[in-house]
Amino acid sequence: MSRENGFSNLPKDFATPGSWFLGQDRRYVVAEERTYVKRGTSSKILKAFDLRNDMVVAVKTLEEDAARDINYRSMLFREGRAMSRFNHPNIVKFYDLVMERKGEINTPHIIMEFVDGESLLDRLRDDNQGPMTPDEIIDISFQMASALDYIHKEGATHGDVKPNNILKSIDGAVKLTDFANSNFVSLKNARFFSPGYSAPEMALDRANTPSTDLFSFVATVYALVHNALPPDVAMKIEPQFLDIRRYEISNEANEGLKALFRKGMAFDPSKRFYLCSVFANRFANLFQNAKNL
């Protein structure tokens, strides 16, 4: 890309030979793949520059093999449509759904907000930053709860709440992302199971409900407090083990928090909290006063 093309002010990440245009009007300049933001088994998220609005955005697209599969293309299209229904400060903003045809294959690309920050998983793994403070964890839990209660009121589920799917910007805003496992995308049952975070009923019958999201939310908060998966949850993903067992929150010394986590991750969905915000409020009150963590 050069001055002759009118891109003299394009950020350097995008003015490289590996960058490419997206959209019929060549509105988006996508950075070369080595600068990818996140990579999964079937999809990847790349940085792009929106020429019309003069801003950096993120593009979710399929890996080459997945792009050949109409099922993956349909699911990514539905994910974009699902995201377009949400308008909440703690959910990554949807901007556009661009179709790109190569031969007989018409592939969707989701254009969304680029969050300048890191995932909660990256934050947990970063030893240089030290452990999260109680105030930081409480703030994150309130923002997560707000986003989840909102999508549940809209009739949606997320289906894969975990630290890797929650972003925190450099200004402290928490953003829920990756709706590939939402009921709006999978249409009924969950497609993924994340050991340690997914509710047990997801392993049994692929349930995908607000209650399964709440379980995953509570498990995520537990991970933030202890920088570890909830004890015994990760071990019990095989259906034959999911019977009468209960989870022992063995890392939790504070009895009030132990009871709170146990209720939030109850084996029986009907025993859990009915709103994520209810858990967040009770957690904040207990966690601020907890002494033996």
Q: Which fold has domain 117-289?
A: Transferase(Phosphotransferase); domain 1 (1.10.510)
Which pLDDT does position 31 carry in this prediction?
82
User: Per-domain residue ranges for the chain?
Assistant: 3-113, 117-289
Residue 257 to residues 8, 197, 279, 287: CA-CA distances in angstroms? Answer: 56, 18, 11, 7
What averages of pLDDT result for each successive group of 10 residues across the chain (293 residues)? 48 70 84 69 88 93 90 93 96 95 88 95 87 92 98 96 96 96 78 82 82 95 83 45 42 75 89 97 88 45
Distance in angstroms (rounded) separating the CA atoms of residues 137 and 128: 17
| 3-113 CATH pick, 1.10.730.10, 3.40.50.300, 1.10.3720.10, 3.30.200.20 | 3.30.200.20
- C-alpha closest to that of 9 among 64, 54, 59: 54
SS3 of 62, please?
strand
Task: Give the amino acid at 267.
Answer: F
Which pLDDT does position 114 carry in this prediction?
95
Residue 33 to residues 2, 118, 139, 142: CA-CA distances in angstroms? Answer: 20, 19, 34, 35
Which pLDDT does position 218 carry in this prediction?
94
